[in-house]
Amino acid sequence: MNTFTLLLAAASAVSAHYTLPIVNGAPAWTAVRQAKNWQNNGFVGDVTSSDIRCNQLNPGNETVTVAAGSNVKVNVNPNAYHPGPFQSYLAKVPEGQDVNTWDPTGAVWFRIYAEQPKFGSSLTWLSAANYDIKIPSCIAPGKYLMRNEQIALHVAQSSGGAQFYLSCAQIEVTGGGSKAATDLVAFPGAYKASDPGILININYPVPTSYTNPGPATFTC
């Protein structure tokens, strides 16, 4: 083992991971529904668990307003340091429902962002503390839940090894258009443990392509 390999082994042995507690600078766990991992920074490992929806512990109590076509800044605390894609989904809060408490079950989610790695002698991901996610310019105005996740793939070569770090933010979209969402999916339901972007050895042989799990990404 060389020093680099030892460092990698030490990093993956760390049990504390990360959370996604903040959007657009709102105080932690206000415009983001407080997640079950808020203290232990843990992950969801079972894609069939209801925790894959929002990993929710408590309702939200704030909403951030964002113009359609502009970005939401999603903060990862401290940093999405495990390799893997960041993905974002939206679900429109139905008329008459409370953005703080609506439970987004069923096929209500459409994907708006799916990170692809850079390919080379290893896969390179953003692995950032902040992700700027563009809200499509053509969607209808109104309140939405925004499900943000980072899927850590460092031990994803065995089934159930991928680690899902996620939370659901509460946003109000202004402006926009009237294009209907497409390719709606449910959580759980959207992912299978055997999906090629979830059950994958990213280390050897180093992949030359990556198939994001989930539906097609919505475009205007």
Ligand X SMILES: *[C@@H]1O[C@H](CO)[C@@H](O)[C@H](O)[C@H]1NC(C)=O
Instruction: State the residues that interact with ligand X by CB under 6 A.
Output: 29-30, 34, 58, 61
What lies within 8 Å, CB to CB, of 76 at 6+ separation is 18, 19, 20, 128, 129, 130, 131, 150, 165
Least Cβ distance, residue 92 to ligand X (angstroms): 23
Query: Closest CB to ligand X among 58 and 79?
Result: 58
- Which CB sits closer to ligand X, 34 or 163? 34
Checking DSSP bridges between strand 71-77 and strand 130-134, what pairing results, if any? antiparallel
Nearest approach, Cβ of residue 220 and ligand X (Å): 33
Select 39 or 174, whichever has its Cβ closest to ligand X: 39
Nearest distance, CB of residue 185 and ligand X, angstroms: 27
Closest C-alpha among 187, 152, 182 to residue 168? 187
Least Cα distance to 158 among 55, 82, 45, 51 occurs for 45
Using DSSP's 3-state secondary structure scheme, residue 124 falls into: strand
Cis bond upstream, residue 78 (ω within 30): yes
Least distance from ligand X to the Cβ atom of residue 110, Å: 27
Residue closer to ligand X (CB basis): 61 or 157: 61
Shortest distance (Å) from residue 28 CB to ligand X = 8
Task: Compute how many other C-beta atoms are within 10 angstroms of the C-beta atom of residue 64.
Answer: 19
Shorter beta-carbon distance to ligand X: residue 36 or 179: 36
